[in-house]
Amino acid sequence: MAASGGELTGSQYILHHLTNAKMCSTDTGLAFNKACADSGFWVWHIDTLGWSIALGILFLAIFRSAAKKADTGVPGKFQCFIEMIVEFVNDTVNSTFHGRNPVIAPLALTIFMWVLLMNIMDIIPIDWLPATAGLIGASFFGMDSHDVYMKVVPTTDLNLTFALSIGVFVLMIYYSFKVKGFGFVKELSMNPFNHWAFIPVNLVLELVTLFAKPLSLALRLFGNLYAAELIFILIAMVGLFQLPLHFIWATFHILVIPLQAFIFMMLSIVYLSMAHEKH
């Protein structure tokens, strides 16, 4: 249960765990959390941003240090591990994408490692970081610890998954036009019924297909991690029995974490390679 502060009801506890820390600017300066209820779009989830950027920098720092040390000699264990990941991503890209594009492989590596690290945050016992944040908020900023929100798994925030999938989507559109030019428009309007009279029908069908790609990409990752997080929270509420249950679910979740990262990477590669193919 929540580690600090007074009593929370079950639903309050769940809600507390599933609410992002918000920041927005109002007329009186920066405002946080509940004060941002009326700010509409211009609200920043500082926990999602903070954790995801920190994890992204961690990923790049680890890989950059490996890249700096990379030579043709006998590699160390750390070097080997990093190179195994790189080779794994490279093989996956090469087996799916047959063109020459310097963006796709690094993109795939970034997606895979970043999503993997963010998913791994789900394994950390769910009360640790929010409770720590509540303690810090209560003792340094004089806030009620219940008003300090901290959602530590960035992939359970739709903003992040959509940012990723939109990034991939923009690249898809860009390469579709770059490779196929006007052929891309033709592909959208003359498929599946190759007749001018069906152009409106085709457009509707193909555009739905097109937009379903980033949507499904984002929602799949979000849904899996959000549900897993929710189950961790529910398990945390059952008292002493949470120990075996938590172990079982965490063990299962170890499978889900890399799987979801891999699926996101794989589908991004597939979509981008489809954008490069002429029909």
Partner 1 sequence: MNINATLIGQSIAFIVFVLFCMKYVWPHLLGAIEERQKKIADGLAASDRAEKDLELAQKKATEQMKEAKAQAADIIEQAKKRATQIVDEETQRGHEERAKIIDQGKAEVEAERNRVKEELRKQVATLAVVGAERILAREIDSAAHSDIVEKLVTEL
Which residues does the annotation mark as catalytic?
A: 216, 220, 224
Hunting for tokens 């999503």 — which residue is that? 115
Residue 89 burial by Cβ neighbours in a 10 Å radius (0-12, 13-18, 19+): buried
Residue 273 corresponds to which amino acid?
S
- Coil/strand/helix, residue 16: helix
Interaction of residue 97 with partner 1, rule CB under 8 A: no
CB-based contact 202:193 (threshold 8 Å) = yes
Interaction of residue 172 with partner 1, rule CB under 8 A: no
Interaction of residue 103 with partner 1, rule CB under 8 A: yes
Interaction of residue 166 with partner 1, rule CB under 8 A: yes
15: which residues sit within 8 A by CB, 6+ positions away? none
* x-or-dash string of contact with partner 1, 113-152, rule CB under 8 A: -x--------------------------------------
CB of 64 to partner 1, least distance (A): 6
The residue among 18 and 203 lying less far from partner 1, judged by its C-beta, is: 18
Interaction of residue 195 with partner 1, rule CB under 8 A: no
HSE-up of residue 237 (Cα within 13 Å, Cβ side): 16
- Tell me how far apart the alpha carbons of residues 51 and 173 are, in angstroms, rounded to a whole number: 29
Interaction of residue 92 with partner 1, rule CB under 8 A: no
Hunting for tokens 């794989």 — which residue is that? 266
Q: Within a 10 A sphere around the Cβ of 157, how many other Cβ atoms?
A: 22
Interaction of residue 163 with partner 1, rule CB under 8 A: yes
Interaction of residue 42 with partner 1, rule CB under 8 A: yes
- Tell me how far apart the alpha carbons of residues 234 and 238 are, in angstroms, rounded to a whole number: 7
Site for partner 1 (CB under 8 A): how many residues? 46
- Which of 2, 13, 31, 43: binder of partner 1 (CB under 8 A)? 43
Interface contacts to partner 1, rule CB under 8 A:
20, 40-45, 48-49, 52-53, 56, 59-60, 63-64, 66-68, 70-73, 75, 82-83, 86-87, 90, 102-103, 105-107, 109-110, 114, 157-160, 162-164, 166-167
